[in-house]
Amino acid sequence: MTISAADLQRLLDTAGDAVLVLIEGRTEVVTAGQLSAEQYRGALEIISRDELLKRTGGPTPDERGLEEQAAALTTAVDELGG
């Protein structure tokens, strides 16, 4: 599964307590509250918006920064077997 810079940008563009998750082979941006819903049971939490903001230094990282984070997250998910 590949995490893209566009996935991370969607996460940054979502306000509040958003989380990027992997479910059924696709990524989705959901709120922390939605994670307890039946449709997200078994979803793998990839990264929260807050954590991504810390890693990128703010809400408007450059494309290269997003691509680097996406590559690192893809590697982490692949190592988990996601």
Q: Name the residue ranges covered by the structural domains of the chain.
A: 3-79
CA-based nearest residue to 35, from 44, 25, 26 = 44
Residue 23's pLDDT is what?
94
Q: φ, ψ for residue 54 (rounded to 5)?
A: -65, -45
What pLDDT digit, counting tens, does each position of 20-44 carry? 999 999 999 999 889 989 999 999 9
Residues 6+ apart with CB under 8 A from 53: 12, 59
Q: Are 46 and 21 in contact (CB under 8 A)?
A: yes
Q: Are 29 and 38 in contact (CB under 8 A)?
A: no
What pLDDT digit, counting tens, does each position of 49-64 carry? 999 999 998 888 899 9
